[in-house]
Amino acid sequence: MHGELGNVILAGVAHNNPNYDPGWKGFFAALVVIAGGALVVAGVIAGRTAWRSAERPRERGLWRALLATTGCFGVVGLSIIALGVWLF
């Protein structure tokens, strides 16, 4: 046994799950979920900021456009989050 490891299992490569797939899949899935969440938050912040900065006479006609824009950001962001959850 001089110069050999024998039947030693190294701690860095031992896993309880024999189907363990080491890789970047979980990291990129989490990154996609975070990006989708950031897009949803950006849409809400943009809609809220535009609503608060609107002048009083234009406030009534603006809510439909802001709701549509915020809704589009929300739908796209939620679909990106769903993709990230599916990847995970």
Q: Give yes or no for residue 27 having a pLDDT over 70.
A: yes
Domain boundaries, the chain: 25-87
Residues 6+ apart with CB under 8 A from 88: 25, 26, 29, 30, 33
Mean pLDDT (whole number) for 2-25: 66
Q: Is-contact 53 12, C-beta < 8 A?
A: no
Enter the pTM of the model: 0.68
Q: What are the tens digits of pLDDT across the range 5-15?
A: 666 655 565 66
Residue 74's pLDDT is what? 93
Residue 88's pLDDT is what? 81
The Cα 6–Cα 3 span in angstroms is 9
Place of tokens 């050999």: 4
Q: Is-contact 78 36, C-beta < 8 A?
A: yes
